[in-house]
Structure 1
Amino acid sequence: MTGATTTPGTPAARTVRPRVEGDWLLVPAPQPHRPVRLFCFPHAGGDATAYTPLARSLAPVAEVWALRPPARGGRSRHPMPTDFDALVTAVVEALTPHLTGGDGGRFAFYGQSFGALLAYEVARALPADRRPELLVAVGAPCPAEWAERRTRDLDASELLRLTGLEEMVRADPELVELALGAIRADLAVSATYRHRPRAPIGSALHALAGADDPMLATAGLTGWAAHTRGEFRYRVVPGGHLLATVDRPGPVGLLASLLTRGQTSPPFRTAPREQRC
């Protein structure tokens, strides 16, 4: 992805008004020059607004388009699809008109935890010639291992604590209940997910995990290698289960480098291809 010569996080990027695209998408920091689009998928219970700091920090290198899941925020009255497959279908339908991207039509996906799984399955559901050039999966086991992850045995309150979001909402009981409701809706959908082995996607796939993530064994990142025919790399970075939050932009430098086809830093490691999920 080429053409970006400016520095992420310029002051001008922080003054642009957010824009909503239909029910499903928020553009927190619209960019008039149409750079590469980064479609961001929230974690369980998360909302599109969690990606506002990332959007402002990545601009003008990239334009973030954040997914607005139902049953929270501005879509609190919209029901969540009944199962994971229905959610994928709805997201594909919502995203398809906007996959033109900028910078020559290129676009990428970024997802955290539950959002990483959703981003991958949405990419796989798209036609081969309409898939993202890059998919960044954060804090999530590979799809084949998803059913074994610890969150299937967690209740919403415990997940709220483990993701670090409890501290943000604990002072307001109403916010706590809203957050728990969104988490419960996503956990119910997550519980219906069934991995179906299919041909891997051709997108470049980078798996990330926070060094202090209490929910994911970082050694398990290499399992993602089986799910792409494209370049695969993984990396453990500073942070917890969620890297991009309402008060932290996340791995801005790394994403800017990937989105502009910059040189990959030495700590990245390529997983051996014989490891499979």
Structure 2
Amino acid sequence: MVARHAKKIKLYGFNNLAKTLSYNVYDICYAKAERHRAEYIEYIDEAYNAKRLAEILTTVAELIGANILDISHQDYEPQGASVVMLISEEPVVSERLSHDKAEHPGPLPETLLAHLDKSHITVHTYPESHPEGGISTFRADIDVATCGRISPLRALNYLIHALESDIVTLDYRVRGFTRDIRGRKHFIDHDITSIQNFIARDVIDRYGMIDVNVYQENIFHTKMLIKEFDLDNYLFGHGRDDYSARELREIERRLRREMAEIYYARNLPRM
């Protein structure tokens, strides 16, 4: 645990723009028996407990070159966990608002390096299961908020590769304004027309994507649905051989329906 700082932290290269990336992922499985659904929730709680999530975020902070000022984490009953991390950037001195204004995918995990200032990273998990249909889901919400020169989009490709999921929902917002050395206001300090332009080609090939953007408000939204569907990847507690062909068709129908409802954020009419 990082000790709380009693003294004020001197800020370097600071500007007043607030940039936030909200990264939401969903994993889905089918667990036929109630005990299997309970085992799935137990597995999720073990794999993504607060201590483990704190370790993951600590690694993320190290990869992006951030200084960790404080960490708080908590497990919940009956399930779920939260971690909040306060971070600051290393000194950056420049008269320019940004070193890199172009739209392009951020670096992959082995090359990721960025600097954050007066910022935080949070994660919250939400395991749950359908009371009758055998469907269980796991959702993790990660927020990376910065008040500095770099956009949190820089960390996007690392997060996608580190937490490969069935569905990903991305929201990026820029708030406030900052001034350049001539006093001119800047309401955003880098080019962006779509979050997709910051995503690596291998990810774009694996997911179907939809954008909903409000350019005049600097609000960008992208949602992603995995293209390939292999039923073996979604069965928990039993394997394919434990079901009849008719049962397998019904399980696939339920899983695809669950994924579609989450992706489109609405309950679909029953067929």
TM-score, normalised via structure 1 length: 0.30
Tell me which of the two structures has the higher relative contact order, counting C-alpha pairs closer than 8 angstroms and 6 or more residues apart: 2
Query: Which of the two has greater helix per residue?
Result: 1
Query: Which of the two has greater strand per residue?
Result: 2
